[in-house]
Amino acid sequence: MPARPGPSDRHPPDRHPPDRHPPDRHPPDRLRLADLARQAGVSEATVSRVLNDRPGVSPDTRHAVLTALDILGYERPERLRKRSAGLVGLIVPELENPIFPLFAQLIEAALTDYGYTPVLCSRPLGGVTEDEYVEMLTDRSVAGIIFVSGHHADTTTDPDRYRKLVDRPLPIVLVNGFMPEVPAPFVSCDDRAAGQLATAHLVALGHRRIGLVSGPDRYVPVQRKLAGYQAACAAYGLTEQVQLSQLFGVEGGHAAAARLLERGVTGIVCGSDLMALGAIRAARAAGLTVPGDVSVVGYDDSPLIAFTDPPLTTVRQPVRAMANATVQALVDGINGGSGPHSEYVFGPELVVRGSTGPVTAGR
C-alpha cells in the first residue's frame, strides 16, 4: 500500500508568504529615509531631523519633507501633526468660475499653515446666502471670517452687516471689493490698472475700435475696470464702446460681445475669463475668427485658461500673493494686531497668448 500522506504532503508549506503591503508602498512603521530623501530632494540626515522635529531646518525644506511623506502614503508622526488653532470661515461665490476654487484652495492652504481649520462656504445662486453663512459660522465661534467677492463688492449693499461683525469684535478680511465705511482690511487686485493694461495691449496691436464687456456697474471691480478702460480710451483718442451684462459668465459675455461685434469692433476687453470665452463664441457665431478678425482679452487667468482654443490672452490676478496677504491680515487681527484698516491693492499682469493679434487690414 502506498504510504499515507503526511501533513506536509497535504499542505505544502508556503515558502513565499504574500506580502501584506502592496509592492509600491512601505509599511507606515518602517519609514525608509532614502525614499523620503529622494522624493524631497534632501539628505537622509535632513529627513531625520524633520521627522524628529529638531531645529536647524528651513521652513521650505521642512515643507518638502512633509509633502514627501504625504505623497508616499506615510502617516505623519504624532509630534508633527498640527493641532487646530480654531475655525475660520471662508465664504466664496459659486464655484463654477474656476478663479474662486483657486482663491479657496490657496487661502485654505495658508490658513492650515497657521494651524487654523478652514470652513468653506460657497454661495450658488438660490442657495444659502452670505448672511445665513455668517450666522452659522458665528454660532460655531469661528476665530474670523474671510469674504471673497461677497456683498462688499456691491455698492448697493448696506455696510452695517460687516460693521456689526467688526464691533463684536470678530476679525474679518474682505477680498475683491471695497467699502470705506467698514473698518477692516480689504485685499484687491488693481482693476483700474487691469482695464488700462488690456486696452493698451490691443492699441499696441493696431486696434482702434475696442469695446468693453463686463458685469453690472454696481460692483466695485466692474466700476474700476470701466474707469481703466475709459482712461485708456481718452489717452489714445478712442471712442468708448461699452456693453454691460447682468450675467458675469459665458452667456453674459456672449450676449454683450454680440452687440459690440454688430458695431464693428475688432478688439474686446472682458471683465472675466468666462466672459471672454463667451465673446469668442459670439465671434465664431458671427462667422469671425479669433484672433484673425477679432482679438479678445480676458481677466483672472483662471486655471486651464491657457489651454482653450485659442489660448486666452488675459490679465492675471496675483491670487497666491493676495491669498497670503489675506490670511496674514486675518491672523494679525485674531492675535490682536492693529494693522491699518485699509485696502491692500496688488498689481495685475498681462499674459499674452493666442486670442489677440494685429488688426486685420480693412477692419
Mind listing the domains of the chain with CATH numbers?
30-81 (1.10.260.40), 86-189+319-346 (3.40.50.2300), 191-317 (3.40.50.2300)
| Among the ranges given (63-72, 169-178, 342-351), the one the predictor scored with the smallest mean pLDDT | 63-72
**SS3 call for 306:** helix
Q: pTM score, two decimals?
A: 0.79
pLDDT at 15 over 70: no
| Structure-block grid coordinates of residue 72 | 508616499
Q: Using an 8 Å Cβ cutoff, are 241 and 229 in contact?
A: no
| Structure-block grid coordinates of residue 327 | 490670511
Dihedral sign, CA of 253, 255, 259, 265?
A: positive
pLDDT tens-place string over residues 189-238? 999 999 999 999 999 999 999 999 999 999 999 999 999 999 999 999 99
Per-chain mean pLDDT for the chain: 89
Task: Give the angle subtended at the CA of 304 by the CAs of 303 and 305, to the nearest 5°.
Answer: 95
Contacts of 86 (CB under 8 A, 6+ apart): 116, 117, 142, 143, 334
pLDDT tens-place string over residues 25-59? 444 334 588 888 999 899 989 988 888 888 888 87
pLDDT tens-place string over residues 144-183? 999 999 999 999 999 999 999 999 999 999 999 999 999 9
Please list, residue by residue across 90-100, b when 16 or more beta carbons sit within 10 angstroms of its beta carbon and e when fewer do: bbbbeeebebb
